[in-house]
């Protein structure tokens, strides 16, 4: 039972991280540098 609870907690944390990364990507933030790529002048390597 404890294994299932820990697994669900970990799955929730991973889901939140993925959601946060997808939301940042939609806002134009880079996952590599953490900066706002629309203001970097083309220095990001996408």
Give domain status of residue 17, yes or no: yes
Domain of residue 25 covers: 2-39
What is residue 17's predicted lDDT score, i.e. its pLDDT? 93
What is residue 25's predicted lDDT score, i.e. its pLDDT? 78
Buried b (16+ CB within 10 A) or exposed e, 1-34: eeeeeeeeeeeeeeeeeeeeeeeeeeeebbeeee
φ and ψ at 35, to 5 degrees?
Answer: -100, 175
Give domain status of residue 19, yes or no: yes
Dist CA 3 CA 19 (whole Å): 24
Give domain status of residue 45, yes or no: no
Count of structural domains, the chain: 1
In this prediction, the residues of the chain whose per-residue pLDDT falls under 70 are: 29-46
Dist CA 34 CA 44 (whole Å): 10
Give domain status of residue 46, yes or no: no
What is residue 9's predicted lDDT score, i.e. its pLDDT? 98
pTM over 0.75: no
């Amino acid at each position: 039972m404890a294994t299932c609870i820990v697994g669900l907690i970990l799955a929730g944390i991973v889901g939140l991280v993925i959601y946060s990364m997808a939301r940042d990507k939609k806002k134009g933030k880079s996952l590599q540098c953490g900066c706002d790529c629309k203001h970097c002048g083309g220095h990001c390597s996408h």
